[in-house]
Amino acid sequence: MEMDVHDELLAAVLFIVFTMFTLWVFRKLWAVRKRKTINDTSSKSGHYWSPIEQNEQQHNYCSGCKQHVVSGYECDNCLLKVDNINCLRAISTKIHCKVNQTLCRKETFDHHWICGNIGADLFCEVCEELCGGGVGLQDFRCSWCWRVVHTKCKPKFTLSCDFGRLQRTIIPPYCVTTRKPGNRNQRMMLIKSPFQAVIDKIEIPTDIEKWRPIMVIVNPKSGSGAGKQLLRNFRAHLHPAQVVDVLKSNISASLRWIDEHPEVDVRILIAGGDGTICSALDQIDTLSRRIPVAVLPLGTGNDLSRWLKWGKKCGGDIDVIKLMEDIQEAEVTLVDRWTIDAESQKKLGVRLQSNKTLSMTNYVSVGVDACVTLGMQNTRESIPRAMSSRLLNKFLFFTFGTKDVFERVCKGLNERIDLYLDDVHINLPDIEGLIFLNIPYWGAGVKPWATYNASHRQECDDETIEVFAVTSSFHIAQMQIGLASPLCIGQAKHAKLVFKGNHSFPMQSDGEAWVNSAGTVLISHKCKTAMLRKAEKQSTGCGMFF
């Protein structure tokens, strides 16, 4: 059978696409293996090398050959830059990383100076003139306190490092001993990579007043690449043992030292979407004491972050020093957390679906709201990670919301469920969605309970949950632009949903959606978690009038 011209052209195109895809996969695998080999060979120096991103290559110079960096590597911890493997190996024997604990002594803790690659908008600590800029390696920056000095001014500057504005936040390397996870007998005198060590022992530094370290938990996949950039940014500013990568480290193991050292006052920052925050809070709740937690918004909705005043979104180039100062000054507020027990009914002695138990901080819903989230979630999982973004997530929400306006798959939800609030059966109006709300914000910034605050005041620590309903996805869209209000159902200390018939129901909790079979869902109070709300700074002088 002979192929016509169109078939031959199609076969050629498919062959080219397959070949390019194979080469792309091979290149990615080779890059991972190459990076691992590089970090194994330079582990004695403490450096952890990552490829320099394309947008980072402007005006950077190699610390080895002093040439302009075209394609090279950067240490995540001290930001030392090289342009090839030979320079990397040579510089690793000459310049140790800031986390090399064999060189860290309290009595003689000096600045860890890195030459060159300094931003052109920084000022010298000695002469107060601009540093950096220009061509080639010039001037110095300390990897711990982030102060910069001119080359000619460096001899005039103090030798000892006090960690600068990060003094209260950072864990001094001479006060901490790290170890490999799961091996308490093998302490590490240096960190081979930031995610291969957890804190084993820690001492309170006597030379720092009001010391309160901050542990940082980051999901590098969140925020359309912002999470990865944030992870490297935090490692560069703090002790790498303070920064937990949720993809490569066990959160519980990384925080175990907090229970073993109750004398240390500590705070935690979680950077990620709603799913990351909920998962991390589950681990934090297992600690023997309440640790105040701040959140950094890297998801799509970010309703918890909005309420705690940390913003509605965040990029990877955030000012880490300013953020750490804000967390130190933040106010502690208690927030209820709830347990969701979804029990599937049995048929012929066999459950239709395995039971599901999870925690909720923001809200849990059934119906049209969860249906839109489920459609977006399934579509997002089928899209390559490189193409995912917060803008794409919002577009998917809009697409599936518009689709449901015409399909209305959750129409008549009130006839298929029974709702009990504090064991009292509630007659529901004609609705398509039911939401159990724990915080003031929902649906990426909507405040659904604001209309009813006068008669049914909402508090986030009163062990009471607010329940409201929506009539359609179009109703949700109207609420998001302020043209409609939700249907108030009531408040309760605990709630129960009974799904009738043989239908499956879309549900979601804190942005994570699933399909729940017929059965019973119980919502009960779990605990109170200490959260950090960003303090509002009062304006003074003439600025308060503008």
Report, in this order, helix, strand and coil percent for the chain, each rounded to 5.
30, 25, 45
For the CA atoms of 128, 133, 135, 136, the dihedral, rounded to the nearest 10 degrees, stands at 70
Are 290 and 433 within one domain?
no
Query: What are residue 413's phi and psi, to 5 degrees?
Result: -60, -35
Calculate helix-pair angle for 368-381, 390-407, nearest 10 degrees: 130
In this prediction, residues 298-327 reach a mean pLDDT of 86
Cβ(143)–Cβ(79) under 8 Å? yes
**pLDDT of 425 strictly over 80:** yes
How remote is the C-alpha of 143 from its chain's centroid? 24
Domain assignment present for residue 23? The answer is no
Are 305 and 351 within one domain?
no
Are 204 and 350 within one domain?
no
CATH classification of the domain holding 184:
3.40.50
Are 521 and 472 within one domain?
yes
The whole-angstrom separation of Cα 114 and Cα 467 is 56
Domain assignment present for residue 9? The answer is no
Q: Give me the residue label for tokens 């009130």.
A: 414
CATH classification of the domain holding 433:
2.60.200.40
Domain assignment present for residue 376? The answer is yes
Domain assignment present for residue 314? The answer is yes
- pLDDT for res 57: 46
Of 329, 360, 388, the one marking the end of a domain is 329
Are 358 and 297 within one domain?
no
pLDDT, tens digit, 9 for 90 and up, residues 24-37? 666 655 555 555 55
The whole-angstrom separation of Cα 136 and Cα 142 is 18
Are 324 and 398 within one domain?
no
Q: How confident is the model at residue 190 (pLDDT cuts 50, 70, 90)?
A: very low
Are 303 and 195 within one domain?
yes
Q: What does each C-alpha distance from 287 to 76, 100, 275 come to in angstroms?
A: 30, 30, 20
- pLDDT for res 87: 84
- pLDDT for res 350: 66
Are 274 and 197 within one domain?
yes
Q: Is 408 or 124 the better-scoring residue by pLDDT? A: 124
Which domain, by its residues, includes 441?
337-526
Are 239 and 359 within one domain?
no
> Is 406 exposed, middle or buried, given 0-12, 13-18 or 19+ CB atoms closer than 10 A?
exposed
- Mean of the per-residue pLDDT values for the chain? 80
Which pTM value belongs to this model? 0.82
Domain assignment present for residue 88? The answer is no
pLDDT, tens digit, 9 for 90 and up, residues 389-402? 555 555 555 564 45
**pLDDT of 544 strictly over 60:** no
Are 365 and 385 within one domain?
yes
Are 315 and 421 within one domain?
no
Of 329, 352, 369, the one marking the end of a domain is 329
In this prediction, residues 504-511 reach a mean pLDDT of 84
- pLDDT for res 223: 66
Other residues' Cβ atoms within 10 Å of the Cβ of residue 250: 14
The whole-angstrom separation of Cα 292 and Cα 266 is 8
Contacts of 450 (CB under 8 A, 6+ apart): 440
Of 299, 329, 359, the one marking the end of a domain is 329
The SS3 assignment for 306 reads helix
Please give the structure tokens belonging to residue 529. 């978690």
Find which of 76-90, 138-152, 221-235 is predicted with most confidence, using mean pLDDT.
138-152
Per the structure, the count of domains in the chain is 2
Domain assignment present for residue 92? The answer is no
Are 182 and 320 within one domain?
yes
Domain assignment present for residue 64? The answer is no
Domain assignment present for residue 325? The answer is yes
Q: Is 361 or 43 the better-scoring residue by pLDDT? A: 361
- pLDDT for res 105: 63
- pLDDT for res 80: 87
**pLDDT of 321 strictly over 90:** yes
Q: Which amino acid, 88?
A: L
In this prediction, residues 147-152 reach a mean pLDDT of 92
Other residues' Cβ atoms within 10 Å of the Cβ of residue 331: 13
- pLDDT for res 332: 94
Q: How confident is the model at residue 337 (pLDDT cuts 50, 70, 90)?
A: very high
